[in-house]
Amino acid sequence: MMVKIKMTTPLVEMDGDEMTRVLWRMIKEELLKPFLDLKTEYYDLGLKHRDETNDQVTVDSALAVKKYKVAVKCATITPNAARVAEYDLKEMWKSPNGTIRAILDGTVFRTPIIVKGIEPCVKNWKKPITIARHAYGDVYKGTEMKIPGAGRAELVYTAADGTEARELIHTFDGPGIVQGMHNISASIESFARSCFEYALDVKQDLWFAAKDTISKKYDHTFKDIFQEIYEKEYQKKFEEAGIIYFYTLIDDAVARVMKSEGGYIWACKNYDGDVMSDMISSAFGSLAMMTSVLVSPDGYYEYEAAHGTVQRHYYKYLEGQETSTNSVATIFAWSGALRKRGELDGNHELMQFADALEKATITTIENGSMTKDLAIITTLENPTVLNSEDFIKAIAGKLQELLEE
Ligand code: NAP
Ligand code: MG
């Protein structure tokens, strides 16, 4: 009998929906509880329970992160009209991720999990590229107008005391379109701080890019806010950690990213982050191999998988059919949260356990045992395709070996 690793402070555990909820239970039973004296404060964010509590459980779970600092979250359903009917919901509840992010004021960092045999399309990428996307404003909160014909379009700002400032957008001599968008300095500052905090946390360089040569006030403000916070609050810490921060133009950043070997954080404005995160994740191979962490400017961390609840597999599972759903990103959400918990508590055994759990997962795949989604894209010959449960059990076997060494 192995002695179970102790935890001193609980993790905030946010359970979720559908296939990922099924995987969640398996991961706890097979990979965590046999080895760990697992301590969590449990919140059931499954859609049924969100509905029963009028979504209060989501708010409570986010407040718990402010208390304990570290959370692990299962994927959850964001209700749409079909889900309202399917679950007979009282309301079309908001996205839990949106609610949590609004309370913690955080930025989401997405990182691919790299294994031999699942090769990135870009052959020089050797290390993960993490994308940080600013999640407020710009074109996502834009106001648009169709201009029917000749006339003047202006930007008008009316101050609290009634004074006005105006800028001409364009004098139209025929039909056209206009768009007004905004951002808030406080939001950009939070974004910058989350990026600097996370770069220090993972000891990786931070790149930030925008188009300040063209957008001399809007994008330039992003650049200036990053630079000011960096110099005042982070430059010394970065130098001590041996990492760098730099700003460059977005087109230059794209060119450098393609030629790089990876291993840094790329901070993006809202639209750039939306587009580039899809490019990065598909070029690295699979959404099922992408982790995600919400980092607040106050240093709270919430770990999860980047994919959804894998609804299609869940319906097969409900019909009693075999599924081969990839649990890697969800396992890494747990290992990320456990490592951070260990770090904050000075619990080295817990940090080592997190390392072992990741190593067991990667080794299992590199030895040729994987779920169907990876078997389709792997460069390894004759992979063994496992079902959802057997894949987790194979990792458990490997983990047992590693911990006994
Ligand atoms: P999804 O759950 O990410 O799955 C889309 C497809 O991607 C699946 O049908 C599957 O393809 C493949 N896939 C994703 N994750 C996989 C995994 N771990 N293993 C194997 N294959 C995987 O997206 P969705 O079906 O569009 O969304 C389902 C629900 O998730 C929605 O209700 C949405 O609101 C929610 N969602 C939640 C989050 C979150 O909580 N962070 C994020 C996104 C979506 P095949 O069917 O071809 O095998
Ligand atoms: Mg997108």
Encode pLDDT of 274-295 as tens digits: 889 889 988 987 889 999 999 9
| Residue 145: exposure state from Cβ atoms within 10 A (0-12, 13-18, ≥19) | exposed
Closest Cα to atom 27 of ligand 1: 308
Closest atom, ligand 1, to C-alpha of 76 = 40
pLDDT digits (tens, 9 = 90+) for 142-174: 899 999 999 999 999 999 999 999 999 999 999
Q: Report how many helices (DSSP H) and strands (DSSP E) the chain contains, helices first.
A: 15, 16
Return the CATH number of the domain spanning residue range 1-108+292-405. 3.40.718.10
Our mutation pick for probing the ligand 1 site, out of 290, 291, 309, 331, counting the most ligand atoms within 8 A of Cβ, is: 309
Contact status, residue 108 vs residue 132, Cβ threshold 8 Å: yes
1: Cα within 13 Å, side-chain hemisphere: 2
The Cα–Cα gap between 350 and 191 comes to: 30
Q: Which ligand is nearest to the CA of 108?
A: 1
Task: Give the pLDDT confidence of 378-399 residue by residue, as tens digits.
Answer: 999 999 999 999 999 999 999 9
Residue 326 contacts residue 375 (beta carbons within 8 Å)? no
CATH 3.40.718.10 domain residues, the chain: 1-108+292-405
Q: How far is the CA of 18 from the centre of ligand 1 (A)?
A: 10
Whole-angstrom Cα distance, residue 108 to residue 133?
A: 6
Strands 369-370 and 264-268: unpaired
pLDDT of residue 1: 60
Burial of 223-236, coded b for 16+ CB within 10 Å and e otherwise, reads bebbeebbeeebee
Query: Ligand 2 center to residue 367 CA distance, Å?
Result: 33
- In order of 224, 228, 238, 290, 310, the CA distances from 197 in angstroms are 18, 15, 10, 21, 32
For the whole model, what pTM was predicted? Answer: 0.91
215 Cα to the center of ligand 2, angstroms: 23
pLDDT tens string 204-223: 999 999 999 999 999 999 99
- pLDDT the model gives residue 106: 83
Residues with CB under 6 A from ligand 1: 75-78, 97, 287-288, 304, 307-312, 325-326, 373
Burial class (CB in 10 A: 0-12, 13-18, 19+), 2: exposed
Å from CA of 373 to ligand 1 middle: 12
Indicate the average pLDDT of the chain: 95
Least Cα distance to 13 among 35, 45, 41, 55 occurs for 41
